[in-house]
Structure 1
Amino acid sequence: MIYIETPRLKLRDWKDSDLEPFQYLNADEKVMRFFPKALSKKESDVFCQAIIAEIKECGFGLYAVEMKETKEFIGFIGFHRATFESDFTPCIEIGWRLKKEAWGKGYATEGAKACLEYGFEELGFDEIFSLTADINEPSKQVMRKIGLEFVKKFDHPRVDPKSMLRKHVLYYVQRNVWQKE
């Protein structure tokens, strides 16, 4: 099923043919530089199954992203229920991960803007959050471009306290603010 279409992208259900490029994406040290580690093939497959299960359970999730022109899988953009212990969870998080060959072309911004519209208009979300490691400037830039506002910095409880990735930033937008834009 295709959930969202933009001028250049399709955000859709996952296919078996996505597994291998997804493994490659998650094993890429540059793509995973703002995560605790790159993923093995097995870890990537487990992650993909969790994504698919969340879509089936919730009716939303991290959608596979395909280039319309080439039908090439380039990563994911979509929603996730963040449930780790914090003063802002549980919440709906918007996120993205694209292969490095797709960086710098505006795909994350294009897909995430369309996701916000889908989340507010079709899924009825009241607010959408996004979070990342504080040092992840590219994702913070996308968050700002799609209209999310900075809320705070926090220590992510699932990241090693000694890691430079522990310090995270939280951004969000409410439906009534988004509708004014």
Structure 2
Amino acid sequence: MIHIETPRLRLRDWEDGDTDPFYSINSDPKVMEHFPSRLSTEESANLQKRIIEEMSEYGYLLYAVDLKETGQFIGFIGFHHATFPADFTPCIEIGWRLSPKAWGRGLATEGATACLTYGFNELGFTDVYSFTACTNQPSIRVMERLNFAFEKTFQHPNIAASHRLSEHVLYSTNVVRWTRT
């Protein structure tokens, strides 16, 4: 089922044929530079399974994304129910992970904009958060293009404090702020 369409993207439910290209994205060193490690085949399949389960549990998910022009799967954009221990969780997180072939074209911003409109208008969200490692400047730029407000930096509790990626930035928006943009 297609949930959201933009001029260039289809955000849809996951399909069996997404497993191999999703693994390619999750094992790519460029894509995973700002994550603690690349994912194995099994870890990638388990992540895909957990993403799909969120749809039945919460009514939203990190949607599989295709380029409309080619039908090619390029990654995910959408919502995740974040529950790690922090003063802002549980919360609705918006996130994206795209193939390097899709980078530099504004696709993450285009897809996330459509997701946020859908989330606030159709799903009734009041607040949405986004966070990433402080080193992940491309994702931080997307958050800023989306007019998210910088909240703070924090130590991600699931990453060892000594790890180079443990310090994260937290950004957020809400329905009032979003409807003004």
Query: Post-superposition shift, 1:22?
Result: 0.2
Q: What pairs with 1:63-82 in structure 2 (closer than 5 Å)? A: 63-82=63-82
Amino acid at match of 1:63: Y
Counterpart of 1:40 in structure 2 is 40
Amino acid at match of 1:55: M
Distance in structure 1 (CA, Å) of the matches to 2:4 and 2:108 = 13
Counterpart of 1:178 in structure 2 is 178
Distance in structure 2 (CA, Å) of the matches to 1:56 and 1:63 = 13
Counterpart of 1:95 in structure 2 is 95
Any idea what the Cα deviations from partners look like across 1:64-108, whole Å, max 9, x if unmatched? 000001000000000001100011001000000000111001100
Distance in structure 2 (CA, Å) of the matches to 1:38 and 1:176 = 37
Q: Does 1:137 align with 2:131?
A: no
Amino acid at match of 1:4: I
Distance in structure 2 (CA, Å) of the matches to 1:147 and 1:66 = 25
Name structure 1 gaps, 5 residues minimum: none
- State percent identity of aligned pairs: 55
Any idea what the Cα deviations from partners look like across 1:105-124, whole Å, max 9, x if unmatched? 11000000001101100000
Distance in structure 1 (CA, Å) of the matches to 2:137 and 2:11 = 24
Distance in structure 2 (CA, Å) of the matches to 1:56 and 1:29 = 31
Counterpart of 1:169 in structure 2 is 169
Distance in structure 2 (CA, Å) of the matches to 1:180 and 1:103 = 28
- Matched length: 181
Name structure 2 gaps, 5 residues minimum: none
Query: Post-superposition shift, 1:59?
Result: 1.2
Query: When the two structures are superposed, what TM-score results if normalisation uses the length of structure 2?
Result: 0.99
- 3-state DSSP class of the match of 2:71? coil
Amino acid at match of 1:79: F
Distance in structure 1 (CA, Å) of the matches to 2:57 and 2:71 = 27
Off by >4 Å, runs of 4+ in structure 1: none
Counterpart of 1:13 in structure 2 is 13
Query: When the two structures are superposed, what TM-score results if normalisation uses the length of structure 1?
Result: 0.99
Counterpart of 2:113 in structure 1 is 113
- 3-state DSSP class of the match of 1:28? coil
Query: Post-superposition shift, 1:147?
Result: 1.3
Any idea what the Cα deviations from partners look like across 1:128-179, whole Å, max 9, x if unmatched? 0000001100000000001111000000000111111000000000101111
Distance in structure 2 (CA, Å) of the matches to 1:177 and 1:16 = 37
